[in-house]
């Protein structure tokens, strides 16, 4: 089938279970598309490993022991450690590193039957909003090769949008699933903090990092999320002991009477007109589906940027201290003593943005500044979470733009890192609060670039989010539109 690469996870799973295609046939098709590494989306590919997994899936499909997504390909963001593929987190300091174990998310998707295509490019240690910070070169947006795909899960979003993989894993610390999903015209969801295990996910900011699926449709994300989530407390102390949930079970529920909160702070100065037009169009579709739009306020939205860029770098400065050239990863060749080895290794191995955030984090945690910066940021973080709880007294789901603009051109913000930080203003609040959020294709803006609608729900309401996203996708065709040549 020549169009295998355009099929959804659900469609591929159906074909595989009915034996209309084999897992090897599907894997071979995607491996052929990945040849030459279009868009610089992949950092490691091993066709032998992929085909071996596909053959194992075919055996399970034949003997009746297949998982729900047996034989369906998936690619993993390069911050998830894997035994069969190198893991670099997009950094030179981990060049060529091989993990002795698989991350829990990787292992659970394999248990569900998914076949690994390879590891995906990302901003170094997931630090960035454009995928321009990877040590291995930027990923190109399939809709316009001169534009960024968003970050940090830009490789994941680009691979799905370009038909190089039907689905991918991503991580979201401050919007790194939702923003690239929006920029590349696909669907992505960040679950409630703690829903998916962080074991084997290289940490950036431990109180914020969360894994999630990225695919073309909400239905595909629901299937993957059901497999990814579940307690893992023995290996991840932040994991929540929640029962497994079938997130696809309620996808077709009616939206009649659903209250959708519209935060006034998400529609003010700074939101580009083309993005607002697309978002407003999606909201009108919800009204046609029976939902009611309710004006709400999230008054501390603007504070989310300074709060995030204090807390996240503070945690990063601690987490990244393990990359010192002693036990694993890059080590400087010429040094005089241990301290000199530390300095040269980290200077050579880390990129500019990672160094910037480590230094910022060390500063705000230093004596005399901890109370003035870090402690105050944590207090405001609590207030931001309270703002959401007050809003959810008036609505069921919150909707708005994912980002103020469509994907920008490479180099536009090269001399102004703060400009990248400001692009996260609408995604950061939900991350700081630990709430589930997602991006759903909502139309197109300037230059024909995709625009995503952000949906946010209360804790553990992922099924409600996915239901709202799925019903919108049944009523529109934005998620079906593809870049030229795909």
47: annotated active-site residue: no
Judge whether 152 counts as a catalytic residue: yes
Q: Which DSSP string corresponds to 204-215?
A: SSTTT-EEEEEE
CA distance 250 to 107: 26
Asked if residue 448 has a cis previous peptide bond (ω within 30° of 0), the answer is: no
CB 24 within 8 A of CB 54: yes
Helix/strand/coil for 428 = helix
- Edge-to-edge strand ranges of the sheet holding 259-263: 42-44, 115-120, 73-77, 167-172, 210-215, 187-190, 437-444, 450-457, 397-401, 259-263, 292-296
176 carries an active-site annotation: yes
CA 357 from chain center: how many Å? Answer: 20
Q: Are 463 and 247 in contact (CB under 8 A)?
A: yes
Residue that the structure tokens 């590494």 belong to: 37
CA dist 426 and 418 (Å) reads 15
From 10, 77, 119, 461, the catalytic residue: 77
Convert 395-417 to b/e letters by CB count within 10 Å (16 or more is b).
bbbbbbbbbbbbbbebeebeeeb
Element (H, E) at 171: strand 167-172
- Burial of residue 48 (CB within 10 Å: 0-12, 13-18, 19+) is exposed
Give me the helix-helix angle, 462-475 and 218-228, nearest 10°.
Answer: 160
What angle in degrees, to the nearest 10, is found between the helix axes of 9-17 and 23-34? Answer: 140
Give the residue among 405, 449, 438, 439 at the shortest CA–CA distance from 141: 449
Residue 400 CA to residue 153 CA, distance in Å, equals 21
Q: Which of 176, 182, 197, 317 is catalytic?
A: 176
Both tokens of residue 212? 């999630």
Q: Is 482 exposed, middle or buried, given 0-12, 13-18 or 19+ CB atoms closer than 10 A?
A: middle
Q: Strand pairing of 450-457 and 437-444? A: antiparallel
Q: What is the CA radius of gyration of the chain?
A: 21
- The one catalytic residue among 91, 129, 134, 152: 152
**Torsion (CA) 33, 34, 40, 41 in degrees, nearest 10:** 100
- Residues belonging to the active site: 77, 152, 176
């Amino acid at each position: 089938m020549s169009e295998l690469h355009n099929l959804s996870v659900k469609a591929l799973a159906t074909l595989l279970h009915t034996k209309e295609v084999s897992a090897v046939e599907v894997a071979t098709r995607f491996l052929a598309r990945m040849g030459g590494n279009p868009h610089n989306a992949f950092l490691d590919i091993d066709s032998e490993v992929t085909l071996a997994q596909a053959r194992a899936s075919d055996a399970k499909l034949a003997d009746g022991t297949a998982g729900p997504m047996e034989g369906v390909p998936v690619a993993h963001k390069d911050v998830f450690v894997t035994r069969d593929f190198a893991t670099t987190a997009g950094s030179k300091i981990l060049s060529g590193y091989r993990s002795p174990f698989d991350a829990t998310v990787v292992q659970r998707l394999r248990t569900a039957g998914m076949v690994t295509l390879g590891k995906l490019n990302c901003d170094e240690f997931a630090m960035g909003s454009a995928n321009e910070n990877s040590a291995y070169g930027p990923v190109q947006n399939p809709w316009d090769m001169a534009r960024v795909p968003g970050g940090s899960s830009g490789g994941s979003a680009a691979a799905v949008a370009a038909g190089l993989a039907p689905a991918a894993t991503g991580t979201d610390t401050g919007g790194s699933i939702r923003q690239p999903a929006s920029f590349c015209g696909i669907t992505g969801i960040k679950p409630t903090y703690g829903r998916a295990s962080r074991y084997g996910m290289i940490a950036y900011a431990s109180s914020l990092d969360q894994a999630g699926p990225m695919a073309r449709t909400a239905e595909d994300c629901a299937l993957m999320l059901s497999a990814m989530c579940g307690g893992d407390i023995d290996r991840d102390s932040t994991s929540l002991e929640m029962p497994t949930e079938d997130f696809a079970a309620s996808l077709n529920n009616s939206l009649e009477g659903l209250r959708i909160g519209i935060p006034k702070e998400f529609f003010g100065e700074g939101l580009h007109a083309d993005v607002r037009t697309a978002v407003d169009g999606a909201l009108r579709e919800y009204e046609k589906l029976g939902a009611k739009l309710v004006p709400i306020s999230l008054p501390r939205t603007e504070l989310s940027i300074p709060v995030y860029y204090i807390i996240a770098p503070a945690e990063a400065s601690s987490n990244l201290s393990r990359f010192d050239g002693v036990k694993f990863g890059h080590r400087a060749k010429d040094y005089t003593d241990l301290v000199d080895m530390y300095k040269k290794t980290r200077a050579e191995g880390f990129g500019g943005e990672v160094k910037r955030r480590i230094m910022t984090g060390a500063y705000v945690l230093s004596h005399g500044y901890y109370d003035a910066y870090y402690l105050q940021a944590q207090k405001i973080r609590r207030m931001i979470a309270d703002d959401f709880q007050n809003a959810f007294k008036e609505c069921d789901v919150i909707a708005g733009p994912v980002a103020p603009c469509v994907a920008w051109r490479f180099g536009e913000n090269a001399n102004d890192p703060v400009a990248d930080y400001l692009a996260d203003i609408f995604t950061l609040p939900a991350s700081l609060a630990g709430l589930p959020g997602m991006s759903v294709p909502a139309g197109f803006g300037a230059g024909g670039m995709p625009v995503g609608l952000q949906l946010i729900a209360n804790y553990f309401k992922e099924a409600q989010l996915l239901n709202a996203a799925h019903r919108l996708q049944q009523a529109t065709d934005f998620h079906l539109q593809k870049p030229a040549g795909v």
